[in-house]
């Protein structure tokens, strides 16, 4: 499995796949942390993790001039990866990649090796609704080529599949498979654990980027506190806007109410969620946000935008409230609605709903069917 670049949830996908297949992971890195594989300076391998490799990306070539030939360095390096994996672990039956842009070399790799591939699609570019990103005509052509030759394409939400088809990309075989969650790590407070004390603790897990809307959350929080609400907020995540958002917090007089905790590992995030009362995701756009799924798995009621795959997650009032994305007033209203009935949310019921839909084992069952179908396409003509 080629892990998705630049995200923290890739290992969950690998863990779900390990429940139904022997999995070797290849993670893109800027520089190797371990020793390189002999003769392959771009490929690293930790002897203590025999099924995990690191791959340094080759220099980018000008796609505008070279077209698909710009992917030749990726194809060559990926061929070397497959040869190394097969020498160490046996024949490779299937390649699993993430994001169409990161998989653009897989059609050529398949033609050269005969090994089929599947693609999990997360990209909000394809929706044309993300205010920070939009797919270009070239991107549509790349996605079409990747999907056409894939054994199966796995959008993480029904809404994303609809967006792909709305772009006219109808070639390919599709099945929606959601992001998996490690429910052994993300769970409600155990019996005997103390309930979080007042004041009401809000938590937001998000990159500090424009699309995530933390500026809107600060404005909404300021309005509620101005009405007399006793609230605190912990923002977990980092990004280019941190200094700007901290300054906004201070201007709003929220310095004693809002903590920017920075980047945290999964265990620390799970602990923070268990010690909170409400999860808030103020994004301007989302597909199927992993942070929301993890918050649900800990039993938190959620406030999240009415966009992308969120309505597929927040399906009823017992789970939380959706609001009109990009509107701080609507966000404040949704937060107020949740706070007004904070004692009536059943954390165990919320967590059970998430476990049923997004647990590693649930997603593993879907992947088992996908892999069994896809592996039969080895050597089949594109």
pLDDT at 381: 47
Residue ranges of the chain whose pLDDT lies below 50: 381-382
In a domain, residue 188? The reply is no
Helix (H) or strand (E) holding 344: none
Residue 286: closest CA among 234, 323, 243, 261: 323
In a domain, residue 191? The reply is no
In a domain, residue 269? The reply is yes
Same domain, 175 and 260: no
Task: Tell me the residue range of the domain where 116 lies.
Answer: 10-180+360-375
- Strand, helix or coil for residue 13: helix
Same domain, 167 and 295: no
d(CA 24, CA 17): 10
CATH number at residue 118: 3.40.50.2000
From the centroid of its chain, how far is CA 244?
25
Question: Which residues are CB-contacts of 127 (< 8 A; sequence separation ≥ 6)?
Answer: 159, 160, 163, 285, 287, 308
Q: How many CB atoms lie within 10 A of CB 21?
A: 18
Same domain, 352 and 364: no
Encoding tokens for residue 295?
């918050």
In a domain, residue 185? The reply is no
In a domain, residue 264? The reply is yes
d(CA 351, CA 183): 9
pLDDT at 192: 65
Domain count, the chain: 2
> pTM here?
0.93
d(CA 136, CA 5): 20
Q: What is the DSSP string of 126-186?
A: GGT--TT----HHHHHHHHHHHHH-SEEEESSHHHHHHHHHTT---S-B---PPPB-TTTS
pLDDT at 229: 95
In a domain, residue 381? The reply is no
pLDDT at 194: 61
Same domain, 40 and 84: yes
Same domain, 209 and 341: yes
d(CA 308, CA 286): 5
Helix (H) or strand (E) holding 219: helix 214-226
């Amino acid at each position: 499995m080629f892990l998705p670049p630049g995200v923290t949830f890739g290992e969950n996908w690998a863990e779900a796949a390990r429940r139904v297949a022997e999995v070797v992971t290849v993670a893109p890195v800027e520089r190797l942390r371990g020793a390189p594989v002999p003769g392959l300076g771009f490929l690293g391998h930790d002897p203590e993790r025999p099924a995990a490799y690191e791959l340094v990306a080759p220099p980018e070539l000008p796609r505008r001039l070279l077209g698909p030939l710009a992917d030749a360095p990726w194809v060559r390096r990926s061929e070397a990866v497959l040869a190394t994996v097969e020498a160490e672990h046996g024949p490779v039956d299937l390649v699993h990649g993430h994001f169409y842009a990161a998989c653009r070399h897989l059609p050529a790799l398949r033609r050269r090796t005969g090994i089929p591939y599947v693609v999990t699609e997360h990209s909000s570019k394809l929706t044309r609704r993300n205010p920070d990103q939009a797919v270009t005509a070239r991107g549509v052509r790349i996605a079409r080529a990747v999907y056409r030759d894939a054994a199966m394409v796995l959008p993480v939400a029904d809404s994303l599949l609809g967006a792909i088809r709305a772009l006219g990309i109808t070639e390919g075989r599709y099945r929606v498979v959601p992001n998996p969650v490690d429910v052994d790590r993300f769970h409600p407070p155990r019996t005997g654990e103390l309930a979080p004390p007042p004041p009401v603790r809000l938590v937001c897990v998000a990159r500090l980027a424009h699309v995530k809307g933390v500026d809107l959350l600060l404005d909404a929080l300021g309005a509620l506190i101005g009405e007399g609400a006793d609230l605190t907020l912990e923002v977990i995540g980092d990004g280019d806007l941190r200094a700007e958002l901290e300054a906004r917090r201070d201007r709003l007089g929220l310095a004693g109410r809002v903590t920017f905790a920075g980047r945290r590992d999964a265990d620390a995030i799970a602990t923070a969620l268990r010690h909170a009362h409400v999860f808030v995701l103020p994004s301007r756009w989302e597909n199927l946000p992993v942070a929301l799924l993890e918050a649900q798995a800990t039993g938190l009621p959620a406030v999240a935008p009415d966009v992308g795959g969120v309505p597929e997650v927040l399906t009823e009032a017992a789970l939380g409230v959706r609001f009109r994305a990009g509107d701080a007033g609507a966000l404040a209203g949704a937060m107020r609605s949740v706070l007004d009935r904070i004692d009536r949310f059943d954390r165990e019921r919320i967590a059970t709903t998430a476990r049923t839909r997004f647990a590693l084992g649930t997603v593993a069952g879907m992947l088992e069917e996908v892999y069994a179908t896809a592996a039969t396409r080895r050597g089949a003509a594109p």
